[in-house]
Amino acid sequence: MSVRHSGIGMTSQRTRNRLIERLRAEGIQDEVVLAAMNAVPRHIFVDEALASRAYDDVALPLGFGQTISQPYIVARMIEILRNGKQLKRVLEVGTGCGYQAAVLAQVAQEVYSVERIQPLYERAQQHMKELNAHNVTLRYADGGMGLPEVAPFDGIIMAAAATHVAPALLSQLAPGGRMVLPLGAQEQYLCLIERDEKGYRETRLEAVKFVPLLMGKA
């Protein structure tokens, strides 16, 4: 077992349990999501210098102007995406270090995740290998277009704030599917889009703060 996985203080089960209790206190009710958050070792995804803060409920810098999302936001978005149902195929736009993809891997049968920044994509690949997350497929690409060749998805989740919802992504959402994303420029909010036989329904949720969605590979 590598040092990264060993029982140094910050990785102890007690530290993780404290985070789960905090998420519960903040209103996360889906026990499947809470179990997934508990199962994923967040400390392996953060810089060693920040490892002591890995189980704090805060966003942390990853470099390249990106962050690893606050655990509450990861849990909240996945709880909304799941809506108490088993997820089959999920698309994540913005892999970052791979933390959210690893949590999604615990609750979905197949996870496809797209990252536009090559060093982050390579880092996430390494993390998936460490965790034996065989149901996660990572792609180095511009995620704004989704992955039409793998669609449809019954869940789409975005880890960067868009100014509008791309029609390409909407078309890849299966009927009965849900999409959760941060929308807005200066003021951002979580948006839930549901697709049914009549079309798309949009619900505005709480205020959030994400890095902006950028186009093209880097």
- The tens digit of pLDDT for each residue in 18-27 reads 999 999 999 9
Q: How many CB atoms lie within 10 A of CB 8?
A: 13
With a CB cutoff of 8 Å and minimum separation 6, the contacts of 12 are none
Q: Does domain 3-208 have CATH number 1.10.4080.10?
A: no
Which residue spans within 82-172 are E strands per DSSP?
87-93, 108-115, 136-140, 153-158
Would you please indicate which residues are annotated as catalytic (active-site) residues? 69
| 8 A C-beta contact, residue 33 and residue 82 | yes
- In this prediction the pTM is 0.91
Residue 176, Ramachandran bin (φ over 0: left; ψ between -120 and 50: alpha; else beta): left
The whole-number pLDDT of residue 61 equals 85
Flag residues of the chain having pLDDT under 70.
1-11, 214-218
